[in-house]
Amino acid sequence: MKSNEELLELAKEVSLRAYCNYSKFPVGACVLYSNGNYYQGCNVENSSYGLSLCAERNAISTAIAAGEKDNILKIAIYSPKSKKCFPCGACRQWLQEFEYGQNIEIILEDDDYKCCIYRLNDIFPYSFGFNM
């Protein structure tokens, strides 16, 4: 099982491959599943900004395309342009969709270049869902 530091390093690595010609704001993410599998994703922008794909959703989509069915345990998110690069609202909702009551850990880099951990339910307490 990958450590928080290893997940953050994998997010840093994939952020270098981001396609962010418009915002110039590269982001990488690495999502860890309960079976130990992990998947990386980076943001991919489009001139029609609404069609852009965030790193977090890219990583989750890659996992689903690979046949992943387990629970998401953690996701590391990194941008060289911002410490504590929190997921946007859309990505928070995506994480909630695949959360399965696990209260996913969000791993970010703090000002001292160390891992800091937040829980999805703490940063997104009132998500949309049909079982509300």
Indicate which residue of 56, 68, 105, 109 is catalytic: 56
What strands, in cross-sheet order, belong to the sheet with 72-78? 38-42, 28-33, 72-78, 105-109, 115-119
105 counts as catalytic: no
DSSP 64-112: HHTT--S-EEEEEEEBTTBSS-PPPHHHHHHHHHT-TTS--EEEEE-TT
E strand or H helix at 55, and its extent?
A: helix 55-65
**Annotated catalytic sites, by residue?**
56
